[in-house]
Each structure stands twice: as structure tokens, then as C-alpha cells.
Amino acid sequence: MLAKQLFSIAANSGNATRGDAQVQAIRRWVVLTAHEWTLQWRHKDSGLAVLAVALLEIAAFDLSMNRIPRLLAQTGPGILWMGFLFSGTLTVTRAYAHETAEDVMTGLYLAALGQTTQLVAKLTVNFMWLLGSVWLTTWLWVRLFMAPTRFSWAVMDLILSLGVLGLVSVGLLMARVGLLLEGADPFLTVWLMVLDLPVTVAAMGATWALMHGGDVWPWVRGLAVFDLIFLTSTLIFSDYLREV
């Protein structure tokens, strides 16, 4: 439904303004975002992977360690973010998987579609999907294991968004690299997890501080700076990775 609406917006703006480069770029971004949304909706893998890992974690930790009081509330941020790191990395590195069959990347390139437009569209949609499932997981964890804890969900949303943005932006750059590698993708995923360490640690620190009454803002600022660095380098470097 959202895809349909976006499509109609794109179609209308297309008729009104032909030639204006900036509007053209935005129009293409909207077209591609809607298209990426359709693809994700058809497969649903990136959202489901995060939820599956989260359920696994919840089940395993609940079964094995719930007798120790407050343990899961204390270790929650660490466990959650490690889970997000694993499932997020696994799904984001597959972001270009639909384009590998039938050489779609070449077709899109010949349609004069810039790398950046495609990257930003993928970034938008992957961010939305991951954030949705990450939010759901966090909510579930707090509900199940940390019932008496009180904290601001607005700040939590900010932390989750910044963390997911960091994971997705480097992840997409490495997904582009993965297209050029022959058979080394599993290693690439593991390597990406190491690369994501600053973002993960900062997000963990922020979540921990929020849940247990520490100072959140240094962490959030750090996280924002990391996001900025990763996002900028992804946008700059992805241009060099075009396959010719």
C-alpha cells in the first residue's frame, strides 16, 4: 500500500518537472525506494532474520538464566546489541542479492541510475525494516525481563535509530564489496562485524546508560559522530566500487 502511494507520488512529480536535475534525482530516489520496499515486502527476510535471532536469544536466556535475579536486566543491552549486530550484518550484506541474478546492476546502471541514488534507496528501506524489528525485539525484552525499569522510550528510539543507521551504512558498503568477491562473502560478514565494533559498543553503552541511569548523552553524541563518519565514507567509497 505504501509502495503504491509512493509510486503514484513519483509518477505525478515526473510529469510536472522534467529536466530539473535535483527534482529528477529525488523522483528516482522515490521510485527506487518504493521498488526496494516491494522487494523487501516480497521476501521479508531482513526483518524476519532479526526477529528470529531475537526470539532465539529470548528463549535461550530465559530457559537457562532466568533463575538468577536481575541478570537478564543487567546484561540486556549487551545481549540485544550482539544479536542485532549478528542478524543485521547477515541481512545487510545480502542487500544486493536480488540484483546479482540476471545482472540487474548493469541494467540499472544503463538506465542512468547513479550509485548514490540506489544506495540511498537501499539505505532507507533496509533502515526501516531493521529498525522495525530491532524496536520490536527491544520492547519484548524490556517487557519480559525488566518490567519495573522506567526510562524514556523517546531516547531509546533515538539510540536504536542511530545504532541501526550505523550498522546499515557500513553494511551496505560491504554488500557492494561482496558483489565483487568470489566466494569470500561468509568471511566478509564476520569481518564486517569487527568493523562495526565502534557502533555496537557505543550503542550498547548508550542503552546500558539509559536503562540503568547513567549519562546517556556522551554515548549518543559519539554514536552520531560514528554514523556520520560511516555514512559519509559509504557514500564516497561506493562510487569507486562500480563494476565495469
Partner 1 sequence: MRVALGATAALFVVSGYFDFLKSPDDAWLGPSQRIFYVHMGAAFVVALAFTVACAASTLYLATRQLRFDRWACASAEVGMVFTSMLLTTGILWGKVVWGVWWTWDPRLTATLILWVLFWGYLLLRDGIRFREQRARVSAVLALVCYLDVPLDYMTIRWWKSIHPIVITAQGINMAPTMIGAMCLTSAAMVALYLSWVTVRVRLMGTEDILDDVKNGLRDGVRCQFWGDGS
Partner 2 sequence: MMDSALLECQNLSCDMGSRPLWQGVWLSLEPGGLMKVVGPNGAGKSTLLKVLVGLRGFRCGRLMRFGERVSVAAKPDSRVGYLGHASFLYASLTLEENLRLYGRLWGVPHLSRRINAVVEQMGLQWSRYERIQSFSQGMMQRAGLARLELQRPRLWLMDEPFSGLDDQGRNMLRRMIDDARRRGDAVLITAPTFSDDIGDVGQTTVLDRGQLRKRNEG
**Interacting residue ranges for partner 1, rule: CB under 8 A:** 170, 173, 177, 180-184, 187-188, 191, 194-195, 197-198, 201-202, 205, 209, 214-215, 218-219, 222, 226, 229, 233, 237, 240-241, 243
- Min dist. Cβ of residue 146 to partner 2 (A): 39
Phi and psi angles of residue 53, each rounded to the nearest 5 degrees, phi first: -65, -40
42 binds, among partner 1, partner 2, none (CB under 5 to 8 A by kind): partner 2
Q: Write the binding mask 95 to 124 for partner 2: x where contact by CB under 8 A, - elsewhere.
A: ---xx-xxxx-xxxxxxxx-----------
Residues listed for the chain? 244
CA–CA distance, 80 with 47 (Å, rounded to integer):
15
For partner 1, the closer of residues 53 and 192 by Cβ is: 192
Could you tell me which of 114, 130, 115, 101 has the C-alpha nearest to residue 173? 115
- Number of residues located near partner 2, criterion CB under 8 A: 29
How would you label 1-23 residue by residue, b for 16+ Cβ within 10 Å and e otherwise? eebeebbeebeeeeeeeeeeeee
Minimum Å gap between C-beta 70 and partner 1 is 19
- H helix count then E strand count, the chain: 11, 0
Q: Say if residues 138 and 50 touch (Cβ distance below 8 Å).
A: no
Residues that bind partner 2 (CB under 8 A): 7, 10-11, 14-15, 18, 28, 31-32, 35, 38-39, 42-43, 98-99, 101-104, 106-113, 244
